[in-house]
Structure 1
Amino acid sequence: MAITSANQLELLQTAEAVAREKMIDPGLVVEAMEESLARAAKSRYGAEMDIRVSIDRKTGKATFTRVRTVVTDEELENYQAEMTVEQARQYMEAPEVGNVYVEEVPPVEMGRIAAQSAKQVILQKVREAERDRQYEDFKDRAGTIINGAVKREEFGNVIIDLGGAEAVLRRNDKIGRESYRPNDRVRAYIKEVRREVRGHQIFLSRTAPEFMAELFKMEVPEIYDGIIEVKAVARDPGSRAKIAVISYDGSIDPVGACVGMRGSRVQAVVNELQGEKIDIIPWNEDQPTFLVNALQPAEVSKVVLDEEAGKIEVVVPEEQLSLAIGRRGQNVRLASQLTNLDIDIMTEIEESARRQKEFEARTGLFMDSLDLDEFFAQLLVSEGFTNLEEVAYVELDELLVIDGVDEGTAQELQTRAREHLEAQAKAALDAARALGVEDSLIEFEGLTPQMVEALAKDDVKTLEDFATCADWELAGGWTTVDGERIKDDGVLEPLGVTLEEAQDLVMTARIMLGWVDPAELEQADEEIDDETTEEEAEA
C-alpha cells in the first residue's frame, strides 16, 4: 500500500490515539512514524542512502526526501549519501564542504514486511517514550509511600499498577509469605527509581525500614509536623521491629504520641505490616543509655562502651539473658541495627569470670617481666596498671601511693620495666631485619620496633609498601554485610594503633615519598571545613 493512497489524516489520528493511551507527547509518536517510514524507504531505495521522512503535523502528508552532504575528495566514502564539491556544482551554485542537497523522492509502497518493520519501530519508540515519561514522573517520588493495584505476578515478583506506570515489588521486598491476587490494593515504599533500557524502573519495598518510618509519619501528626523525629528503625519484616523517636517539645512524650489513644496509631501500622510487633523506644544521644532502652524489655545491669571499635558490652542478670538475646537472637540483633553497634551480651557471672581472667593475665605479666612475687604483682593490677609502659613511664608519685612502695622500690620497678621494654624492642628489631625490612621503614617516626616486626610478618618491608596500605588494614575496622557488622583485623591493631593514627602515619609516609603535595592536602582540608561550615549554617 502506498502512503499517498491512504487517508493522510489517519496518521495523525493514530498518533493522537496512541499518545493518549500511553500518556506521552503525540509528537514523539509522529517522530517514531517518520523513522519507521524512513527505514521502509531505505529498504526500497538502498540502505546506504540517507532517506528522511517528514509528516506534516496539520495535514498528515508524508514527504520523502534524499539528503546528500558535500565533503572533500579525501572524505568521500558513501557515494549515495555524500558528494564532492565538483559533483555538487550540478545541483547548487558555489557549493562548500558541509552543505547538504535535499531532493524529494517518490513515496514507497509499504509491503507486508516493511509495514511490520515500521510497526516494530513505532512500538519501540513509544515504549522508550513511555519509559522516559514514567522515569520523569517518579524520579522525585523515591522515598515516599504509594498505593497501587496488583496487576500480575512473575516468578514471585509482583507487578503493581500505579496508574499510568508499572512498578515491581520483588520477592525479597515482600513481608514474610505475603501473597497477592490481581486487583488487590497494595501500599508500598518507593525504594528506587532508576533509568533502565529494559525491564522495570520503579522498585517498591514493604520490608525497608524507611517504609515503617513513613507509615508512622502518616499516622502520627507530630512526626509530620516535625515535633517528633524518627531517628532510627530496625526491622525483622513481618515479625518484630524497633523504632527510636525523639521529641523536640518537652511537653510531648514521643513514645506516647506514637502509640496513640489505646494504641490506635501504632495498631494501624501493625495491621499494615501483617502483625509485626513494634517496640517504640525513646532516643538518647548517650549511646549506653540508648542501648539500655533498645534492649527492652530486658533489664541491663551494666554497659561498657568501646567507641573506637564501635563495640559495646552489656551485662545482664542470669535470668534476663534469654530475654535480652530474644528468640533466635532477634532482640539483640535489632538493638545492634538500631544503635549501629556490635553488642556483646554476657551474664554477671560471665563478666566476673572474664575480669578474673584479665586480672590473672596482668598479674602473670608483671610477675614474669618484673620478677615480682604474686602479691606485689596483684597490688600493681589492683591500682589500675595494665601494661609495662605504664609502670616504666608513669610519674613516680603514682607508684608511691601503693602500700609498701618507697622511692627506692618505685625506681627499681621502673628500671626493670624499662630494661624489659628495651630488650623486647631490640628483639623485635633484630627479627624485623632478619625478615628483610629496610632502614627507611625502621627509621620512620611513629613506628615502634614491635610495629615494624608486625608489618614485616605481613610482608610490608619498605616505606613504599607502608605508604600503599589502607588505614583499616593497619588499625582494623568493621564491614556491614547483610545488616551484620563483621570485624576486619588490622596488622597493628593488637599494638593499640587507632584508625586516626593509622591515617596520619600513612599520609606522612606518602608526603615523604612525594606522592602527596602537602599544599594540595591543606587546600582540600580547608575546602572540606568550608563546606562543613556552610552546611552547619544552613542547618
Structure 2
Amino acid sequence: MLENLNHIIDQVVKDKGIDRAVLVEALESAVLSAANKKFRNTRDLEAHYNDELGEVEIFEFVTVVDEVLDSYKEIDLEEAGGIDPEVQVGDSLGMKMDAGSFSRIAAQTAKQVIIQKVREAEREKIFNEFKDRVGELVNGIVRRYERGDLIVDLGMSEGLLPHREQVPRENYRQGDRVRVYISEVKMATKGPQIILSRSHPNLVAALFHFEVPEISEGIVEIKAVAREAGSRTKIAVASYDSDVDPVGACVGMRGSRVQNVVSELRGEKIDIIPWTMDVGRFACSALSPAEVTRIYVDNEMKSLEVIVPDDQLSLAIGKKGQNVRLAAKLTGWNIDIKSESRAAEA
C-alpha cells in the first residue's frame, strides 16, 4: 500500500518516546477514516497494521447471502464459495482491498498521523517537564512582545510573561536575560502554556531561598510575604535554631544577601520582619520603621488597633497607605492606626 513504515515508526518511538501501540492504533484509525471517506461509508471496512510488510492494510467485509440486495456489503454464496469453499450463508467474509487504488491516500494519511503524534508527544514532554516546576525560578531570554505580553525563551520551550505579571517600570528588549518565577503550567489547545511572573510575592521568597543557605537548609523559614511589586516587600522570617538570627541570616554580611535580592528586583525596598506567634508583637514589627506605643487585639474580629506617637503617624501609614497595607497583608489581620492625640479624644 505504501513504503515500509516500520523504520519510521521505530525511529519516532525511539526519538520522541511515543508508545508504539498508540502510534500503530492512530495509523490504523486514520487510514480507516480516510478509506471510509473515499468510499463514502458505503462499505464495511477494517484497517490492520501488518508488521511484516510495514503497512496498514484495508479489509472489506461482506455478508454471504442467497440473493444480493446491497452489492457493497453482500456477496452471493456461489461467488463467496470461490474465495472460501467452506463459507455458509450468514457468514462474514473479509477480503484485502487492492492497494493500488488507495496507496497515495494511505501514504498522505500516515504522514499526517505521524507528524501529529510527534507534535502531541513534544507538547506532552514539555508539559511533564514543567508541571512540577511551578514555584521555581528560571532564567530565560526575551524573544518578543505580543500585545503587551512578553515571550521568554526557556530553552526547550517558550514561556509567557503576561502584562499583569510584569513589574511597572521594568522594561526589556529582545535578547535581554530575565529571571522569572513559574506561577502556572496548563495544557491549552495549542499545547502547554507556561505562565511566568515578575510580580508574584513568591518570586521574592524564591530569591531569598537561592541567596540564603539557612533557608534552603530549613534552618530559617519564610512565614509570609506581602508585596507591592516594583515598590516594596515585607517578608516575615523565623528560625528553628536559637543560635541563628533569621533576620541577620537574610540580611547577610554587610547586607550582601538582601542587596543581591534588591538588585535583582531593580531597587525594590525590602523589609525583613522577625515572625512571632504573638500577633501584637508581630504587627509592631511589621509596621516598622514606625514606633508603636500600644496595641489592642480583637481576636473575634481579627483586627488590631495600633496607637502610635503623633510624629510617627504618617510613617506608620506610609506613602499612600502602603506601610499599613503591607503590614495587614503580612499578618493577615485588619489594622487600624491612630495617633496618641486622636486616641486620647476617643
Given the alignment of the two structures, is residue 66 of structure 1 paired with residue 62 of structure 2, yes or no?
A: no
Does the Cα contact within 8 Å between 2:32 and 2:58 map onto a contact in 1?
no
Distance 1:100 1:330, change over 3 A: farther
Picking from 304, 318, 322, the partner of 1:312 is: 304
Of the candidates 4, 11, 17, which is equivalent to residue 8 of structure 1?
Answer: 4
Whether the 8 Å contact between 1:152 and 1:160 is mirrored in structure 2 is yes
TM-superposed CA distance for 1:136, in Å, is 2.1
Within 1, Cα distance between the matches of 2:62 and 2:340?
88
2:227 corresponds to which of 235, 245, 249 = 235
Q: CA deviation at 1:226?
A: 0.6
Structure 2 residue 121 is the aligned partner of structure 1 residue 129: yes
- State the match for 2:263 in structure 1: 271
- Give the deviation of 1:206 after TM superposition: 1.9
- The answer to whether residue 183 in structure 2 is matched with residue 191 in structure 1 is yes
Count residues with an aligned counterpart. Answer: 329
* Partner amino acid, structure 2, of 1:329: G
For residue 31 of structure 2, what is the amino acid of its counterpart? L
User: How far 1:133 moved relative to its partner?
Assistant: 2.0
SS at 1:8's partner residue?
coil
Residues 480-532 of structure 1 show CA distances to partners (whole Å, capped at 9, x for unaligned) of xxxxxxxxxxxxxxxxxxxxxxxxxxxxxxxxxxxxxxxxxxxxxxxxxxxxx
Give the alignment partner of residue 39 of structure 1, picking from 33, 40, 43. 33
Conserved in 2, the CA contact under 8 Å of 1:300 and 1:315?
Answer: yes
66 and 236 in structure 1: CA distance in 2 versus 1, 3 angstrom threshold: same
- How much does 1:18 deviate? 9.9
**Amino acid across the alignment from 2:298:** D
* Aligned pairs (5 A) from 1:154-193: 154-193=146-185
Could you say if the C-alpha distance between residues 50 and 210 of structure 1 is closer, same or farther in structure 2, counting changes exceeding 3 Å? farther
Give the secondary-structure state (helix, strand or coil) at the position aligned to 1:251. coil
**Where do 5+ consecutive residues of structure 1 fail to align?**
71-78, 355-539
C-alpha displacement of 1:128: 2.6
Q: 1:217 to 1:36 in 2, by over 3 A?
A: same
Give runs of aligned pairs for residues 95-494 of structure 1, distance below 5 A.
103-107=95-99, 108-110=102-104, 121-198=113-190, 200-354=192-346
1:332-373 superposed Cα distances (whole Å, 9 cap, x missing partner):
11111100111111111221222xxxxxxxxxxxxxxxxxxx
Amino acid at match of 1:40: A
Aligned with 1:210: secondary structure?
A: helix
The alpha-carbon deviation at position 82 of structure 1 amounts to 11
How far does residue 219 in structure 1 lie from its aligned partner after superposition?
A: 0.6
TM-score by length of 2: 0.81
Distance (Å, rounded) in 2 between the aligned partners of 1:101 and 1:208? 66
Look up the SS of the partner of 1:223 in the other structure.
Answer: helix
Structure 2, unmatched stretches of 5+, are 64-70
CA change 1:25–1:14 in 2 (3 A) is closer
Kept after mapping to 1: 8 A contact 2:60/2:97: no
Aligned to 1:427: none
SS of 1:231's partner is strand
Q: Distance in 2 between matches of 1:290 and 1:270?
A: 23
Distance in 2 (CA, whole Å) between partners of 1:180 and 1:101 is 69
Shift of 1:176: 1.8
Inter-partner Cα distance in structure 2 for 1:158 and 1:140: 22
- Do the aligned residues in 2 keep the contact of 1:168 with 1:200 (CA within 8 Å)? no
Match of 2:332, as an amino acid?
Answer: N
Aligned equivalents of 1:281, 1:245: Cα separation in 2: 6
TM-score (norm 1): 0.54
| Native 8 Å contact 2:185 2:193 kept in 1 | yes
Alpha-carbon contact 2:223-2:275 (below 8 Å) kept: yes
Contact 1:294 1:335 in 2 (8 A): yes
The whole-number CA distance in structure 2 between the counterparts of 1:235 and 1:25 is 44
Q: Secondary structure at the match of 2:329?
A: helix
Residue deviations 1:180-239 (CA, integer Å, cap 9, x gap): 334433222221223333354322222211121111111100001111000000111111
CA distance 1:94–1:339, change in 2 (3 Å): farther
Quickly say closer, same or farther: Cα 1:30–1:149, change in 2 above 3 A: farther
Larger RCO, structure (CA 8 Å, separation 6 or more) = 2
Whether the aligned pair in 2 keeps the contact of 1:166 and 1:200 (CA below 8 Å) is: no
Match among 46, 52, 76 for residue 47 of structure 2: 52
Report SS of the residue matched to 2:195: strand
Q: Which has more radius of gyration?
A: 1
In 1, distance between residues paired with 2:94 and 2:252?
74
AA in 1 matched with 2:40 = G
Residue 80 of structure 1 and its aligned partner are, at CA, apart by 7.6
Identity of aligned residues (%): 46
CA contact (8 A) 2:159 2:194 kept: yes
Indicate the SS of the match to 1:110: helix
Alpha-carbon deviation of 1:47? 3.6
Counterpart of 1:62 in structure 2: which amino acid? E
Amino acid in the other structure paired with 1:155: R
Equivalent position to 2:18, from 17, 20, 25: 25
Q: Distance in 2 between matches of 1:216 and 1:292?
A: 23
Do the aligned partners of 1:242 and 1:280 also contact (CA within 8 Å) in 2? yes
Q: 1:82 to 1:94 in 2, by over 3 A?
A: closer
Whether the 8 Å CA contact 1:148–1:185 is kept in 2: the answer is: yes
Secondary structure in 2 aligned to 1:201? strand
- How far residue 36 of structure 1 moved from its aligned partner, in angstroms, is 4.0
Q: Distance in 1 between matches of 2:345 and 2:270?
A: 35
